[in-house]
Structure 1
Amino acid sequence: MRRRLAVVVLAAAVAAGVPGCSGGSGAEVVTVLGSWTGDEQAAFQRVLDGFTRETGIPTRYQGTRAQNQVLRGDLQQGTPPDVAVLSNPAELAGYAKSGDLKPLDDVLGAEAAQAYSSQWLKLQQLGRGALYAVVVKADLKSIVWYSPSTFTGPEPATWEALLTTSRQLAASGQPPWCLGMGAPPNSGFPGTDWIEDILLHRAGPRVYNAWAAGTLPWTDQAVREAWQSWGELVLAPGAVRGGSTAALLTSFADAGRAMFTPPPGCVWEHLGSFAIGGYGAFPGPPVPDRDFRFFPFPGAGAGGPSEVSADLAAMFHDTPAARRLMVYLAGEAGQRIWPSGGTTFSVHRRLVGPDVYRSDVARRIATTLAQGTDPCFDASDLMPSAMSSAFYQAVLEYLAHPDRLGTLLDELERVRRGIDPEQWLDLPC
């Protein structure tokens, strides 16, 4: 009934010549801002095209890596996009607090509660009790990739087993880890994922949540041990292909390429589920299940907590057409389009079957994301931008100068103390 009403209201607005409606097409254009460019933009455009086919409402998408700066500028000028897609819930929570975001409870209604698990609903509420965002796509980060032709098991299920097997591979002359830190403007983020996963699974969700929410000092022993554990694994002689210097100079998108070369240059890669799309672009290309698989990060399997990330769509301009787009992005039809290639993942609980995901690898990831009971959101994406930027930089400096860890943690703690407590987002697992 709500969707029919939206159509009626939209039609009336067009007929009346309401400002903002396109005179050429006869329908209001929905403007969308996102960070996706290139192939990702083309994939998201297919979602928007599906919306236009269903509703007749045209869209105009702007993709830019400077998304946050563009959005802030648009808001200051009073010309925000109708919808924006961000990966940082803390940024969105700030916009909700300032009144720039429009609540979605009366837009999405009870359908959202049926489509998403309670933890994903909590994320979409941005810690404020009302629904403010829709997860457009998500990634599972607590995984380690490998080629079954190179690594024949057993898959390490504990940190001790992971460390032992890593040392054995290095001793045999086979670098265990593919590692690349390059990701402008966020170079260093693959290292933050490492430290987050280690802290989550070695110190537990309670400690992880306190750290992500800004109430646990960076100088806390649990945080320090997470950095040291990562260093013990990847800074050991022979652990990383080319050593830490090569890791600093290698793009995260290229690091895993060495898994598939003859002979393989590395055995494992700790990278989120988005890696599937990157692997598919390598020569060959490698095929999931046959050429690459994954095992859960030690502690994440058998129902344990998993680190996740997501891109969230939010409404900045409340129009009938924008409401229709939010309904579409949250619904089964819109959520089905992008994952159809098996490289992007929905958290919609009804979209986990073989009709959506063609490989066992993709279905396992989709099931964990949509039905997992303990998703813990990427800590650096929950942190205020000043904190996450400092975190990225500290990772790079640690790989170059591991003896400076104490100084780096002191500097990160000074950044934390300098941030207004109101800027932090408390979103427990």
Structure 2
Amino acid sequence: MRSMTRRSYAALATGAAFALILAGCSDSGNKSPDASSTGKVDCAAYKQYGDLKGKTVSVYTSIVDPESKQQTDSYIPFETCTGAKIAYEGSREFESQLPVRLSAKTAPDIAYIPQPGFLKSLVADFPDAVKPAPQAVIDNATKYYSEAWVNYGTVDGKLYATPLGANVKSFVWYSPKEFADNGYTIPTTWDELMTLSQTIADSGRIPWCAGIESGTATGWPATDWLEDVVLRTAGPDVYDEWVNHTIPFNDPKIVEALATVGDVLKNPAYVNGGLGDVQSIATAPWNEAGNGIPAGTCSLMRAANFYQANWATDVTVAEKPQDNGVYAFYLPGKTADDKPLLGGGEFVTAFSDRPEVQAFQAYLSSPEWANEKAKVTGQGWISANSGLDASLLQSPIDIMSYKLLTDPAYTFRFDGSDQMPAAVGAGSFWTEMTDWIATDKSDEAVLTAIEKSWPAS
């Protein structure tokens, strides 16, 4: 699913923001713009950026209120210690308007690109506008991010963008109390997950709940299901070939993966707990479908870490069994040693190479920024930056997600639809997966239709 702009209906990071601990800069003596803060920021780490007083860096992004406040708050130490001003603009029309601005030569200094596929198209269409990352950014990327994340910001062997936020999609939400009461254990392989599903079904309950309705983006949760399963049945190398269209969309390995998804989502004994029959998945709102877990009408739902923002206020996200509590476990691979991980995020891209722009770009790729963002967000935000201080993360799901993202035992892959051409990734892939559920269209027909929609060039 497309990050941020096409996920604006899902509250990604709506936890209450912490009070900032930045009121002044110990080296410069300048006061922080945040008058409510009570502490001081140590400017030692910011000396590398130099004196940028009187300089302004413009930022254009799809991140809008209320998340935009957390973004701008995270810039305060940089502004305080360097003297620079960050001019922030969030827009729900970001993806359509950024190319317009580039064509009109009114590009922002920096933009947050929601998906690698969009980055590649910008580099191809505006090769003189998108600036390669400066050395300080390259150094941070190499030091603090995995090779996979660096590759997703690289086009034709050149690093253009570094990750900003991140998310983990390979999760199954459940009720720890239900598991404890019934003696269920967390599955460590795909077969164990299917055995658990059957055990729950044999008890008289429908184990899974699912919903793929999401307004104009209806269908994207089903694409995430397929992507996660391709990683598990075909492996990351085939996944890359599929995403990059070096094998056809309807390759036999992808047909097999969709059939495996169907073993859950098209099995009337397994879905759709508390919501209806198989076809109800197509009309059940994604952000409400999981409510059956605390309500006791279903036991399992595959959804990303950011689903935590959709639980009712009286639902507790915790591993410890308790009434009205939910938690999540890693969606297992074929074996306990097979650890594919599906996720997403956005990337910092520059359209100017002025020193102050390069300095701010370097800050956004640093542990200092990641830590500051974690402080001001409170919960609901994570980074793949290995320099992030995990003790600053407040949600147990955030902490678990961060550990998975930075654990080399897990093989990370970016959301597939976010890497595909928009006509597929935000078009036929969504609509065909919806038809697969709503009209029981066959696996082969769905994948063949998507294959035919792939742009010729």
Q: Which TM-score band (shorter chain)? A: 0.7 to 0.9
For residues 133-282 of structure 1, the aligned pairs below 5 Å read: 133-152=161-180, 153-238=184-269, 239-241=271-273, 242=275, 243-261=277-295, 264-279=296-311, 282=312
Tell me if structure 2 keeps the 8 A contact 1:342–1:356.
no
Partner deviation per Cα, 1:175-224 (whole Å, 9 max, x = no partner) = 32231213344221111110011111011112111101111112211111
How far apart are 1:107 and its partner, in Å?
4.0
Question: Are 2:93 and 1:63 aligned?
Answer: no
Q: Over aligned residue pairs, what C-alpha RMSD do you find?
A: 2.4
How far apart are 1:363 and its partner, in Å?
2.3
Q: Provide closer, same or farther for how the CA distance between residues 369 and 73 of structure 1 changes in structure 2, counting only shifts above 3 A.
A: same
- Using the alignment, how far apart are the partners of 2:272 and 2:45 within structure 1? 55
For residues 8-407 of structure 1, the aligned pairs below 5 Å read: 8=51, 10-11=52-53, 27-97=54-124, 98-99=126-127, 100-126=129-155, 128-152=156-180, 153-238=184-269, 239-241=271-273, 242=275, 243-261=277-295, 264-279=296-311, 282-290=312-320, 291-299=325-333, 302=337, 304-340=339-375, 341-351=378-388, 353=390, 355-373=391-409, 374-388=411-425, 389-407=427-445
Structure 1 residue runs of 5 or longer lacking an equivalent are 12-26, 421-429
Tell me if structure 2 keeps the 8 A contact 1:352–1:370.
no
Amino acid at match of 1:34: T
Question: Partner residue of 1:16?
Answer: none
- Using the alignment, how far apart are the partners of 2:157 and 2:217 within structure 1? 31
- Using the alignment, how far apart are the partners of 1:265 and 1:47 within structure 2? 41
Question: Partner residue of 1:17?
Answer: none
How far apart are 1:323 and its partner, in Å?
1.8
Question: Partner residue of 1:423?
Answer: none
Question: Partner residue of 1:19?
Answer: none
- Using the alignment, how far apart are the partners of 1:50 and 1:249 within structure 2? 45
Partner deviation per Cα, 1:246-299 (whole Å, 9 max, x = no partner) = 3222332222222223xx2221121112122333xx121423333333222121
Structure 2 residue runs of 5 or longer lacking an equivalent are 1-43
More displaced 10-residue stretch of structure 1: 108-117 or 214-223: 108-117
How far apart are 1:3 and its partner, in Å?
7.2
Q: For residue 328 of structure 2, give the secondary structure of its aligned residue in structure 1.
A: strand
Amino acid at match of 2:208: W
Tell me if structure 2 keeps the 8 A contact 1:398–1:404.
yes
Q: For residue 217 of structure 2, give the secondary structure of its aligned residue in structure 1.
A: coil
Amino acid at match of 1:319: R
Q: For residue 135 of structure 1, give the secondary structure of its aligned residue in structure 2.
A: strand
- Using the alignment, how far apart are the partners of 1:311 and 1:194 within structure 2? 20
Out of 47, 50, 54, the residue aligned to residue 7 of structure 1 is 50
- Using the alignment, how far apart are the partners of 1:318 and 1:244 within structure 2? 53
Amino acid at match of 1:394: E
TM-score w.r.t. length of structure 2: 0.80
Tell me if structure 1 keeps the 8 A contact 2:268–2:278.
no
Tell me if structure 2 keeps the 8 A contact 1:88–1:382.
yes
Tell me if structure 2 keeps the 8 A contact 1:105–1:130.
no
Q: Provide closer, same or farther for how the CA distance between residues 5 and 142 of structure 1 changes in structure 2, counting only shifts above 3 A.
A: closer
Partner deviation per Cα, 1:42-72 (whole Å, 9 max, x = no partner) = 3323223443334332223222332210111
Larger % of helix: which?
A: 1
Q: Provide closer, same or farther for how the CA distance between residues 329 and 174 of structure 1 changes in structure 2, counting only shifts above 3 A.
A: same
How far apart are 1:334 and its partner, in Å?
0.9
Tell me if structure 1 keeps the 8 A contact 2:371–2:389.
no
Partner deviation per Cα, 1:97-120 (whole Å, 9 max, x = no partner) = 332211113242523322222222
Tell me if structure 2 keeps the 8 A contact 1:352–1:363.
no
Amino acid at match of 2:318: P
May I ask how many residue pairs the two structures share in their alignment? 397
- Using the alignment, how far apart are the partners of 1:6 and 1:339 within structure 2? 22
Q: For residue 381 of structure 1, give the secondary structure of its aligned residue in structure 2.
A: coil
Q: Provide closer, same or farther for how the CA distance between residues 225 and 402 of structure 1 changes in structure 2, counting only shifts above 3 A.
A: farther
Q: Give aligned-pair identity as a percent.
A: 26
- Using the alignment, how far apart are the partners of 2:201 and 2:71 within structure 1? 41
Tell me if structure 2 keeps the 8 A contact 1:176–1:268.
yes
Q: For residue 78 of structure 1, give the secondary structure of its aligned residue in structure 2.
A: coil
Partner deviation per Cα, 1:309-345 (whole Å, 9 max, x = no partner) = 1111111233333222211111112111333424211
More displaced 10-residue stretch of structure 1: 227-236 or 167-176: 167-176
Tell me if structure 1 keeps the 8 A contact 2:74–2:373.
yes
More displaced 10-residue stretch of structure 1: 103-112 or 383-392: 103-112
- Using the alignment, how far apart are the partners of 1:91 and 1:359 within structure 2? 30
How far apart are 1:372 and its partner, in Å?
2.9
Q: For residue 32 of structure 1, give the secondary structure of its aligned residue in structure 2.
A: strand
Q: Provide closer, same or farther for how the CA distance between residues 51 and 180 of structure 1 changes in structure 2, counting only shifts above 3 A.
A: farther
How far apart are 1:147 and its partner, in Å?
1.7
